[in-house]
Structure 1
Amino acid sequence: MKPIADFDNFANLDIRIGRIVAVEDAGTKKPTYRLQIDFGGDVGIKVSCGAFRNYTKEALIGQQIVGVINFGAKKMGPEVSEALVLGVPGDDGETIFLTPHSHVALGVSVF
């Protein structure tokens, strides 16, 4: 178990709902996708590189995701990831993205 974090640590994260609008193969060493994610209104579209290769590109388009948008850019080989899509490991080790149970507006903050 990780050490207890102060609530301010969580409050400092800007976690929002976005929708995947485009998917391409990323130019990274590991097989990853370059996702363009629309976080709506004041945020707009951000790029995220992630290991969601267990999904087809077509299956990812239009999916709502939960993402952290205020970590700052992270260089991943030739790619720059601007947001972190939250996920969990599946039974076979594949990466499963987190998504809201019901459709919600883009840019809604997670609390």
Structure 2
Amino acid sequence: MFGFGAILGRLVSDAGGAYRIAHTLINVFGRKYVQLAVMIASFILGIALFFEVGMVILIPIVFAIALEVGVPLLYLGIPMAAALSVTHGFLPPHPAPTAITAALGANPGHV
């Protein structure tokens, strides 16, 4: 899984996709709200992917945004990791909510 995520992240970066996504997010949200843009993009991507794969795919995009805007990498990396953590920890069918549902004997359709 990590290998495919790394390959996809590298392809996005080499093809110029990371730069294009970064440029689009900066244009839509502006330089002042670039953290919010990274957080929303990470949250949306985190719904479909596991934490580790989302991290590997988003790292080239975060690097491109940080270089474009001129901010430290942690300024954007922490919101990315936080949004991926929230989706991984709170939204089913990720492992944490599924395990809690099974432990409590709850119906996954109602969680």
TM-score higher than 0.5: no
TM value normalised by structure 2: 0.23
Which structure dedicates a bigger proportion of its chain to strand?
1
TM value normalised by structure 1: 0.23
Larger radius of gyration: 2
